[in-house]
Structure 1
Amino acid sequence: MRSTSDRVRHALSFEVIGLMIVTPLGAWAFHLPTSQIGVVALIGATIATLWNYAYNLGFDHMMWRFYGRTSKTLKLRVVHAFAFEAGLLVWVLPLFAWYLGVGLFQAFLMDVSFALFYLVYAFVFNWAYDKIFPLPEWNQAAEGSI
């Protein structure tokens, strides 16, 4: 299982790289100033960082309890990414509506757009992270066995 310092490195690198991509992309897509999208993205990233740590810790404990390991198959990675984004949506939707001064439906559409970006980004980032920083236990078990 990942150490606390590894989880912190994971969460922070995920959010910093994500912010560097999503802020200009969001400003362009929604025709809003980069500063407005930047504030929403930064606050959202802070919430996401805390959620990321808690979610991944809980998910790994669940994996360890039910499967005796933390390595994930392609199918499990997809479930992991969708569940993470669904949980995050609950936390950030009110932020989007309030700060941008838009209705809940418009905020929902914007949030879904961010979530779709982060869904793909999370999948790619986590796969790359696991390849760059593998755990020793993964050498003992085949990746595709779950």
Structure 2
Amino acid sequence: MEVFIMSASERVVQSILYEVGCILIGCLVMLFVPHDGQPFVLMVIFSLLAMVWNFVFNWIFDKLVPGDRLERGPVIRTIHAVLFEGLFMFATVPIIMYMMHMSFWMAFVTDITMTLVILGYTYVYNWVYDRARLYFVEA
């Protein structure tokens, strides 16, 4: 068995653990933002929305940018990331405004803050997960 190839069930576990972390981190960010609402409910909605958006966006992107995904260079990968996050924010800013009773500007700044924090979390999470997985697979 190749150590770096994950089964579908392992990917599900990885995704669930990742999303639980995103929910907790999102709730922590909301502690520093004045709001009237339920941050936990908002983060669960965002988590579910992100999973669906990830599937839909990547399916569409792969149709529009065909070819070997491993051959995609930094420009295509940057376009992919910016479009993914930008379009996701297009949906999430109004949800934050409504659920947290915020102005557009406050919701926008909150969303950018969460996006940047989650970006750092994503990097650390995947690094830690890969190393922990290697340790447990080899054990």
Q: What range describes the TM-score normalised by the shorter chain of this pair? A: 0.5 to 0.7
Of 54, 57, 62, 1:55 maps to 57
Q: Is the 8 A contact 2:35 2:101 kept in 1?
A: no
Correspondence for 1:42: 44
Q: Is the 8 A contact 2:29 2:114 kept in 1?
A: no
Q: SS state of the match for residue 30, structure 1?
A: coil
TM-score, structure 2 as length reference: 0.65
Correspondence for 1:18: 22
What's the CA shift for 1:32?
5.5
Gap change, CA 1:109 and 1:20, over 3 Å in 2: same
Q: Is the 8 A contact 1:47 1:91 kept in 2?
A: no
What's the CA shift for 1:117?
1.8
What's the CA shift for 1:98?
0.7
**In 2, Cα distance between equivalents of 1:9 and 1:59:** 25
In the alignment of these two chains, the number of paired residues is 127
Larger RCO: 1 or 2 (CA < 8 Å, sep 6+): 2
**In 2, Cα distance between equivalents of 1:127 and 1:79:** 21
Of 30, 35, 47, 2:33 maps to 30
Alignment of 1:60-99 (within 5 A): 60-62=62-64, 65-66=66-67, 68-70=68-70, 73=73, 76-99=76-99
Q: Is the 8 A contact 2:97 2:103 kept in 1?
A: yes
Q: Unaligned regions of 5+ residues in structure 1, if any? A: 134-146
CA deviations on 1:81-100 (whole Å, 9 max, x unpaired) are 32221111011111100111
**In 2, Cα distance between equivalents of 1:100 and 1:42:** 14
**In 1, Cα distance between equivalents of 2:39 and 2:104:** 17
Correspondence for 1:141: none
Q: SS state of the match for residue 69, structure 2?
A: coil
Gap change, CA 1:117 and 1:71, over 3 Å in 2: farther
Correspondence for 1:100: 100
- Amino acid aligned to 2:102: V
Correspondence for 1:114: 114
Correspondence for 1:144: none
Q: Is the 8 A contact 1:81 1:119 kept in 2?
A: no
Gap change, CA 1:58 and 1:16, over 3 Å in 2: farther
TM-score, structure 1 as length reference: 0.62
